[in-house]
Amino acid sequence: MAAPLLILRNVHLSFGGPTLLDGADLSVAVGERLCLVGRNGSGKSTLLKVAAGLVQPDTGDLALQQGTSVRYLPQEPDMAGFDTTLAYVEAGLGSNDDPHRATYLLSQFGFNGTEDPSKLSGGELRRCALARVLAPAPDILLMDEPTNHLDLPAIEWLESELNSMRSAMVLISHDRRFLSNLSRTTAWLDRGQIRRLDRGFGEFEAWRDEVLAQEEVAQHKIDRKIAREEDWVRYGVSGRRKRNQKRLGDLHKLRQDRREYRGATGNVVMKAAEAENTAKLVIDAEHIAKSYGERDIVKDASIRVARGDRIGIVGPNGAGKTTLLNMLTGTLTPDKGTVKLGSNIQMVTLDQKRESLHPQATLKEVLTQGHGDMVTVGDDRKHVIGYMKDFLFGVEQVNTPVARLSGGERGRLMLARALARPSNLLVLDEPTNDLDLETLDLLQEMLADYAGTVLLVSHDRDFLDRVVTSVIAFEDDGKWMTYAGGYSDMVTQRGHGVKARVANTMDGSKVGKSKKTGERAEAAPRKAKLGFKEKHALETLPAKLEGLRADVVRLQAKLDDPALFTRNPEGFKKTLADLEAAQAAIVAGEEQWLTLEMLREEIGG
């Protein structure tokens, strides 16, 4: 293994309450792809800030190899003091970094560099901050929830960009697919300490469950030993004195260790209060349409939703997913067409911005609707403290105002309130925002057991695959198409994932914003020069292709050996697979080079 670029040793940190980091160790080697996982509130973001040198631990060491460049992406970027987006991104460049890279990345994210940072939305701030940390191509990238506020085209573009970089990475994200596609190592922050798995996130959850099961067995053995020793204290202390004193001392230590043992954080107890069944046909929308000005949001869409369906709605930001959802649920009238709702519908909605939570309301007031100490969950009544504990809130938080909750806690509170209401139609607009992986697991299980109907808007590909039975996808120009199965099934059927809208922010074309509508629209003609990435590809592709052709010659020579299959069948299969992969890479590389060369000639550069 290569020498670590960054090492954290025995880090302890507390903010006046329970210990957050309790001897945490972390190392990052050259080119390593590491995901940092753990429950909400376990200290992941704090540990990343310690690694970035922004938070000083109570005790512990931070060692950074001399000359190593580090860039940190916070959850909430601060662009105060910068007049333009370009100035903000260029401020992150080093003396030897290519300034054109800043312009290129801004254009990829839909900026022209002259935007006023104070007027950007949350999603735009996030994309601009991503451009700032990616532009220098640092030795280490520390990224806290990089996919927050990004739509599916932006997430998939970011995956591709990160995969092409040589930087070492430490990633915090609730997006399973993103972590699985990028990580090669997993660091699990659990009860203040790091457990390391030298495999990617895809294998983490099975390993975590095994570790916790083994820990539970070990604690059970300790409990049994304490019980045996306590029996001995009561009935057998009359033996040799020195030996007894040592045994008593061991018992005291066992008891102390048991008292100080921090068990794994409990799981959310999640169950939806269900109402009586609806009619078999829940929603019948025929030839509905909606437009704003000259732009069609929904054009001639006919959608039927039957009882028990779990339907995902996907598309890029600005496509009109929430508009379509509001029309289907009867909260927005279409310009054309009709929407008929079935009988006996009791609908509960979870909005994506948590806007319906009053910032000064306490947890108790939100859950009890300001009346008494009891929460009505379907036909049952439960004390608010007990219901809070089901969603991992502490007793001391009962009078905590919403404004002081973290994003994850607000998400859990919204779920707690929504699921207490009887429903047979759940409308979930980005329900996965800020939820940790364990809570996502339980939400998924709850939806699987839910007898009613679910309409879901989400950018989380893995969650869509696990939950929905069909997908309504934005095609273009106000058209929406229904596909059977989850997100991956949709990709298989249509041949691609969700693409950006016509004014594509991911392909280098410039986009602007209409001041009247706030919607993105095309603002510039075709590009006048090759971007940084395109020039780099033109320069490096010939050598790469030569290397691939040499690999083909070498692999073909191995396969020409008539005794290879008999002597080593597995080696033969691997060589054949490597040959096919190299040949496919040559075809793709030659097509890419030809496309870029034609573009260069067209531009005249």
Question: Which tokens go with 473?
Answer: 């996808």
448 and 596 together in one domain? no
What sign for the dihedral angle of Cα 136, 137, 141, 146?
A: positive
Residue 91 has pLDDT above 80, yes or no: yes
**pLDDT score at 407:** 67
Pair 284, 427: CB distance under 8 Å: no
Question: Which tokens go with 224?
Answer: 């049994």
Q: What mean pLDDT is reported for the chain?
A: 81
Which of 35, 306, 309 is closest to 147 using CA atoms? 35
Residue 169 has pLDDT above 60, yes or no: yes
Q: How far apart are CA 501 and CA 297, in angstroms?
A: 11
Quickly list DSSP for 394-453. Answer: -GGGTT-BGGGS-HHHHHHHHHHHHHHS-BSEEEEESTTTT--HHHHHHHHHHHHH--SE
Average pLDDT for residues 196-211, to the nearest whole number?
Answer: 91
Residue 505 has pLDDT above 90, yes or no: no
Average pLDDT for residues 457-481, to the nearest whole number?
Answer: 91
In a domain, 393, yes or no: yes
**pLDDT score at 86:** 94
Domain end position, chosen among 466, 486, 513: 513
DSSP category for residue 537: H
In a domain, 504, yes or no: yes
Q: Check which CATH number belongs to the domain holding 433 and give it.
A: 3.40.50.300
450 and 509 together in one domain? yes
Q: How confident is the model at residue 301 (pLDDT cuts 50, 70, 90)?
A: very high
308 and 450 together in one domain? yes
- Phi, psi values for residue 340, rounded to 5°: -110, 130
In a domain, 507, yes or no: yes
Residue 501 has pLDDT above 80, yes or no: no
Residue with tokens 């960054």: 6
Lowest-pLDDT range, 73-82, 309-318, 335-344, 496-505? 496-505
**pLDDT score at 510:** 39
For 419-439, the pLDDT digits (tens) are 888 888 999 888 887 777 777
> Under 8 Å CB-to-CB from 568, ≥6 apart: which residues?
none
**Number of separate domains in the chain:** 3
Q: How far apart are CA 262 and CA 189, in angstroms?
A: 13
Average pLDDT for residues 157-174, to the nearest whole number?
Answer: 93
> Under 8 Å CB-to-CB from 597, ≥6 apart: which residues?
538
For 497-603, strand residue ranges (E) read 511-513, 520-522
Residue 31 class from Cβ within 10 Å (0-12 exposed, 13-18 middle, 19+ buried)?
middle
- Phi, psi values for residue 274, rounded to 5°: -100, 145
Strand 453-457 relative to strand 520-522, pairing: unpaired
Domain end position, chosen among 172, 206, 240: 206
Lowest-pLDDT range, 254-258, 344-348, 504-508, 550-554? 504-508
488 and 591 together in one domain? no
Residue 357 has pLDDT above 50, yes or no: yes
**Greater pLDDT, 2 or 390:** 390
497 and 433 together in one domain? yes
430 and 489 together in one domain? yes
The amino acid that residue 127 corresponds to is R
Q: Which domain holds residue 408?
A: 281-513
Average pLDDT for residues 194-211, to the nearest whole number?
Answer: 91
Which of 472, 431, 122, 149 is closest to 325 using CA atoms? 472
Q: How far apart are CA 41 and CA 328, in angstroms?
A: 37
Longest CA–CA separation in the chain, Å: 99
**pLDDT score at 167:** 94
What sign for the dihedral angle of Cα 205, 207, 208, 209?
A: positive
- Phi, psi values for residue 235, rounded to 5°: -120, -10
Q: How far apart are CA 156 and CA 459, in angstroms?
A: 11
**pLDDT score at 258:** 57
350 and 400 together in one domain? yes
Domain end position, chosen among 162, 181, 206: 206
Which of 476, 479, 437 is closest to 460 using CA atoms? 437
For 514-555, the pLDDT digits (tens) are 333 333 333 333 444 666 667 777 788 888 888 888 887 888
448 and 355 together in one domain? yes
In a domain, 405, yes or no: yes
Strand 295-306 relative to strand 310-314, pairing: unpaired
Average pLDDT for residues 77-102, to the nearest whole number?
Answer: 91
- Phi, psi values for residue 229, rounded to 5°: -70, -35
Q: Compute CA distances 150 → 147, 159, 180, 247, whole Å.
A: 5, 12, 18, 60
For 105-141, the pLDDT digits (tens) are 998 888 989 999 888 877 788 899 999 999 998 999 9
Residue 269 has pLDDT above 70, yes or no: no
Residue 366 has pLDDT above 80, yes or no: yes
Residue 26 has pLDDT above 60, yes or no: yes
In a domain, 125, yes or no: no
CA angle 303, 307, 308 (to 5 degrees): 105
Average pLDDT for residues 23-34, to the nearest whole number?
Answer: 94
Which residues make beta-bridge pairs with 7? 27, 63
pTM (2 d.p.): 0.68
Strand 347-350 relative to strand 425-429, pairing: parallel
**pLDDT score at 165:** 92
In a domain, 108, yes or no: no
345 and 405 together in one domain? yes
**pLDDT score at 556:** 78
410 and 340 together in one domain? yes
437 and 543 together in one domain? no
In a domain, 194, yes or no: yes
Lowest-pLDDT range, 41-45, 236-240, 361-365, 592-596? 236-240
Average pLDDT for residues 454-470, to the nearest whole number?
Answer: 91
Residue 587 has pLDDT above 50, yes or no: yes
Give SS3 for 310.
Answer: strand
Torsional class of 222: left (φ above 0), alpha (ψ -120 to 50), beta (otherwise): alpha
Residue 506 has pLDDT above 60, yes or no: no
Q: Check which CATH number belongs to the domain holding 579 and give it.
A: 1.10.287.380
Q: How confident is the model at residue 12 (pLDDT cuts 50, 70, 90)?
A: very high
Residue 400 has pLDDT above 60, yes or no: yes
> Under 8 Å CB-to-CB from 476, ≥6 apart: which residues?
499, 501, 502
Greatest mean pLDDT among 158-162, 553-557, 587-591 lies in 158-162
In a domain, 95, yes or no: no
Give me the helix-helix angle, 99-108 and 122-134, nearest 10°: 150
482 and 337 together in one domain? yes
